[in-house]
Structure 1
């Protein structure tokens, strides 16, 4: 059965890197908590793969994390993994490398066959139907915007409602409405920081410190309460 933990962000308020999610991750991993975790660091533009691997190890206090860049045969590493983790950063860069190494379908198949998946920020965004509701700048062009489709709707992580005082650009709501104007059949789930989806099979439960918002074309924005379960 498909199992995934999708975290809106690596941090929540001033709690520090991954601190708010440590217990969620360990509970999600369950009996596999001591198994090797295959970490995909490609979104981390501002740090090397080694630096990203060490940071996640240190912050989660887990020595069983090994970055995929250490494997020559990356497809085999994914096929053999019991747990895959994808870190945050720039979503365009992340998808560029997943397509470059031809790993997108391999990850999809692994998760469908029972490999656990957890990711935050960009790692959560790419678990949706496409990466088109990321917040990141397109600093490189991936082969496609199609992503893992573990969660069969769009995800907008790091969601902040409304406009910052004095800022004259579009709000996040306006940006999502623009997306839906062009992609009218899509559904977008906006995830405030400190929230996550826990996916079991065809169901996703909302956990965390806030509710989520559901956007559909020309429909009122719906609030999805913390603790709710939705079909995916």
Structure 2
């Protein structure tokens, strides 16, 4: 499989998808078009989402073909050179993917070797479930079960901060709850500006910030770019 799983689309003060573009360029080398899954968009249209992504992918010379509005979106996935799944609301994304048969179509097509690029919610859905998303459940999918391209859970946009005056749970506390309820699975906090790349059977962290590792019975700890991540697989 070939996966590029990005924490966030945009760093503060930068244009949309600008910071990950060099890595996307390397990852999609030789690809002429991608099938884009826009269903995480909620407050703006799928057409607008495709336009935003196409504007950035124009710099790569890659055409963005959104699957929305097609009679058979799953067929478009099965014929695609590569798949991109955008961020937004993970519950809305998964509900649409389940309804349209995209979960199995993406799983099968990526297993055949085509590249997959996801950011935020698009990274969440590559996990066994979406249980470590940050999003509110604004709609109800058939289940929390996702595509399962990786055997661990990702928490994109992972934050260490606990704002002054905030008495609620931190992100770490939420993930500790997850591993308490799911003791056999790793969860990882993927900080902004970072991504995970899976190619040639190996997993690599890309970015200047460490990846935070959670598993029941082990104190949370961090790994850096260049460290061995094979234990997650």
Could you tell me the TM-score, scaled by structure 2's length? 0.95
Task: Name which of 25, 38, 52 aligns with 1:55.
Answer: 52
Superposed displacement of residue 14, structure 1: 2.2
Q: Which residue of 2 aligns with 1:210?
A: 209
> Which structure 2 segments of 5+ residues have no match?
none
**Does residue 176 of structure 1 match 2:175?**
yes
Q: Which residue of 2 aligns with 1:193?
A: 192
Task: Name which of 29, 33, 36 aligns with 2:33.
Answer: 36
Q: Which moves more between the two structures, 52-61 or 153-162? A: 52-61
Partner Cα separation in structure 2 for residue 18 and residue 182 of structure 1: 34
Superposed displacement of residue 201, structure 1: 4.0
After superposition, give the CA deviation of every residue in 1:166-223 in whole Å (9 maximum; x if it has no partner): 1111000000011111111111011000000011143210001211111011311121
Q: Which moves more between the two structures, 79-88 or 196-205? A: 196-205
Q: How do 1:16-95 residues align onto structure 2 when only pairs under 5 Å count?
A: 16-32=15-31, 35-61=32-58, 62=61, 64-95=63-94
Specify whether residues 112 and 171 from structure 1 end up closer, same or farther in structure 2 by C-alpha distance, changes over 3 A only.
Answer: same
Partner Cα separation in structure 2 for residue 20 and residue 229 of structure 1: 24
Partner Cα separation in structure 1 for residue 130 and residue 202 of structure 2: 21
Partner Cα separation in structure 1 for residue 117 and residue 171 of structure 2: 25
| Contact in 1 for aligned 2:57/2:63 (Cα 8 Å) | no
> Which structure 1 segments of 5+ residues have no match?
none
Superposed displacement of residue 22, structure 1: 0.7
Q: Which runs of 4+ in 1 moved over 6 A?
A: none
Q: Which residue of 2 aligns with 1:5?
A: 4
| Contact in 2 for aligned 1:7/1:121 (Cα 8 Å) | yes
Q: Which residue of 2 aligns with 1:227?
A: 226
| Contact in 2 for aligned 1:187/1:214 (Cα 8 Å) | yes
Secondary structure at the aligned position of 2:36 is classed as: strand
Partner Cα separation in structure 2 for residue 177 and residue 218 of structure 1: 10
Could you tell me the TM-score, scaled by structure 1's length? 0.95
Partner Cα separation in structure 2 for residue 229 and residue 110 of structure 1: 27
